[in-house]
């Protein structure tokens, strides 16, 4: 008489191994994606701590509240902070050893919220992306980025002092 042995998995061995290998590959891809995300996030804010340290050391600011990056003809860290009692925006160039800082008092400019509110009234069918202070040809500007009603990606440069348009780029999609 034959005794039949029971097993938990009665299917073919190749199916068992294929399933195990697929699970290992999926887990590996997931771990790789997490490391890639963390690395990209760190590279986006690379140098912020050094910029903050340099500005505090040079007494340009007493407190740093935020740092953004502007990439135009030249790349800058845009530093928001306080110098005693006044709030300032400093454009800190990323290239070169000698840093020629451009400093703007926030009390002299049109507020970011006012620019966005004015834009919403002019373009109510548009999708807002972001707003960043910009420095183009030594002109302090707001870089307003959005998608217009035609689906074009728009970079609108407005004066930081009076809101007048300096220049505008409308990029159309080549592929849908």
Instruction: Order across the sheet with 86-93: list the strands.
Output: 63-71, 75-83, 86-93, 102-105
pLDDT band at 97 (very low <50, low <70, confident <90, very high): confident
The pLDDT tens digits for 150-169 are 888 999 999 999 989 999 99
Q: How far does CA 154 lie from the centroid of its chain?
A: 16
Give the predicted TM-score (pTM) of the model. 0.72
The pLDDT tens digits for 26-52 are 999 999 999 999 888 877 777 888 888
Distance, CA of 138 to CA of 158 (rounded, Å): 13
Judge whether 144 and 129 are in contact, CB under 8 Å: no
Bigger pLDDT: 123 or 173? 123
Distance, CA of 70 to CA of 76 (rounded, Å): 5
pLDDT at 59 over 90: no
Query: Mean pLDDT over all residues of the chain?
Result: 87
pLDDT value of residue 147: 93
- Residue % of the chain over a pLDDT of 90: 47
Q: Which residues contact residue 128 at a Cβ distance below 8 angstroms, ignoring those fewer than 6 apart? A: 116, 119, 120, 146
């Amino acid at each position: 008489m034959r005794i039949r042995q029971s097993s938990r998995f009665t299917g073919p061995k190749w199916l068992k191994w294929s399933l195990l290998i697929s699970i290992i590959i999926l887990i590996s891809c997931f771990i790789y994606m997490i490391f890639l995300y963390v690395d990209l996030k760190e590279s986006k804010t690379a140098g912020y701590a050094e910029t903050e340290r340099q500005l505090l050391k040079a007494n340009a600011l007493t407190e740093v509240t935020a740092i953004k990056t502007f990439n135009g003809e030249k790349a800058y860290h845009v530093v928001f902070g306080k110098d005693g009692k006044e709030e300032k925006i400093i454009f800190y160039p990323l290239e070169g050893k000698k840093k020629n800082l451009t400093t703007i008092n926030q009390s002299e400019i049109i507020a970011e919220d006012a620019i966005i509110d004015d834009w919403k009234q002019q373009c109510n069918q548009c999708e807002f992306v972001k707003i960043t202070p910009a420095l183009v040809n030594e002109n302090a500007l707001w870089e307003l980025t959005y998608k217009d009603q035609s689906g074009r990606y728009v970079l609108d440069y407005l004066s930081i002092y009076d809101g007048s348009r300096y220049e505008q780029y409308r990029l159309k999609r080549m592929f849908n």
